[in-house]
Amino acid sequence: MHHFVKFDKKLLDKNAIKVINTIQKAGYKAYLVGGCVRDLMLGLQTKDFDIATNAKPEQVNKLFKRSRLIGRRFRLVHVLFNSRDYIEVATFRSGKVKTGKNGVVVRDNHYGKIEDDVLRRDFTINALYYDVEKQEVIDYVGGLQDLEARQIRPIGNAAKRFTEDPVRMIRAVRFAEKLGAEISAEIETAILKQAPLLGNVSPARLYEECIKLFQNEYSFAVYQRLEKYGLLRHLLKQTHNNDFIKKTCNSTSERIKSGKPVTPVFLFAAFLWQAQNERFALIKKQQRSSHLAQLQACDEAIMNQIKQVSLPHYLTARIRNVWMLQAKLEKIQPKKIEWLIENRDFRIAYDFLVLRAQSINPELEKVVDFWSKAQQ
Ligand code: ATP
Ligand code: MG
């Protein structure tokens, strides 16, 4: 159950170690937990260092000058290091949960021991704890073995755990692709049956998970597996696979691999592009102004989306901008060239045009050539 593992000091986050030391000095226990231990074991770089402790949130909060209590569904502490960096500290909780009508967890603030905390986690590979001082991985559920064998295994019964929290279904898909792992038949069967439960999850929460699904090095593999399991239509019901979607996912992955920035603006603009076009074709039949028809088409595609996965307002404004810029770029009006290049979303709109030309709109190749030269 306890396994001596020495991680390269460089891989461990200094702030996380500081937080653990402070909590332990105050007489409590504190461990690295979850994704970071999993990724460290795999030799992967990880940014997200979470800590689990037997200290109550209020007690943790008191130990740090710069920290705050957050969360409604569960209370957590964020220890702040600067405006962007914080370490999340969670108190051990028991798997005892209060469930609502559909079996969905509505509250689980019952504190417990580490043995209880293990059981509330989703998959065995995510239920590993690391004792920094003793240099030991603590594994109650065979997570190390599953990690070695590349197996995504639920803690407990898959169907039951997915009913409690349907987000676990899309997490299973993401981890399977991340690890190149097998999904057990039990998980597969449960997902095929229970995919519609995603409809019970708040669109805001799904937004966070959606970013994680597609902004990674294995984006398109995740997309295809979500589609195969019938999960995709509960996230992006207007999105249908084509070469443009594939190009978008793959270019996202390539950018991440080469350390370039990525933005959800591009991703969602691409996912909803076809829907927006189809709405536009319909609306234009009744609306003489092409500009107004396009605005309405944009709104409708976005409105349909945010029923499932919400998009922050700043994002929808920029998605609309990228779409509206497509027609302007396609036309090439000499008087507007400079004005367009100075648009804050020109670069994204141009990249968007390039991917369209490389996939669903090969006729745009000449236009792309023009803009490639114009911006030099
Ligand atoms: P990544 O950071 O790559 O998304 P992660 O496993 O760290 O992966 P987080 O969302 O950061 O995912 O969650 C941290 C840990 O919290 C997980 O490893 C898991 O133990 C637990 N966890 C997260 N979401 C759930 C969930 N929906 N149900 C049960 N446990 C969860
Ligand atoms: Mg994490």
Residue-wise pLDDT for 235-277, tens only, equals: 999 999 999 999 999 999 999 999 999 999 999 999 999 999 9
Please name the residue ranges forming H helices in the chain.
14-25, 35-41, 57-63, 114-120, 143-148, 158-164, 167-179, 185-194, 203-214, 219-228, 243-257, 264-271, 273-284, 290-306, 313-331, 337-341, 346-358, 365-374
Q: How far is the CA of 343 from the centre of ligand 2 (A)?
A: 35
Is 48 catalytic? The answer is: yes
Fold of 2-155: Beta Polymerase; domain 2 (3.30.460)
The answer, yes or no, to whether any atom of ligand 1 lies below 6 A from the CB of 126, is yes
Residues 184-199 pLDDT 10s: 899 999 999 999 999 9
Q: Is the pLDDT of residue 9 over 90?
A: no
- Distance of CA 51 from the midpoint of ligand 2 (Å): 10
CATH superfamily placement of domain 232-374: cca-adding enzyme, domain 2 (1.10.3090.10)
Instruction: Determine the residue type at 140.
Output: Y
Q: Could you identify the residue written with the tokens 């997915």?
A: 162
Residue 107, pLDDT score: 56
In this structure, the residue with its CA closest to atom 2 of ligand 1 is 35
For range 144-168, the mean pLDDT: 96
Q: Which among 50, 117, 146, 165 is annotated as catalytic? A: 50
Winning range, highest mean pLDDT, from 61-75, 94-108, 266-280: 266-280
122 is catalytic: yes
Q: Where are the domains of the chain?
A: 2-155, 232-374
In percent, the amount of the chain with pLDDT more than 90 equals 83
pLDDT category at 103 given cuts 50, 70, 90 is low
Q: How far is the CA of 228 from the centre of ligand 1 (A)?
A: 23
pTM, 2 dp: 0.92
Q: Across-strand partners of 154? A: 123
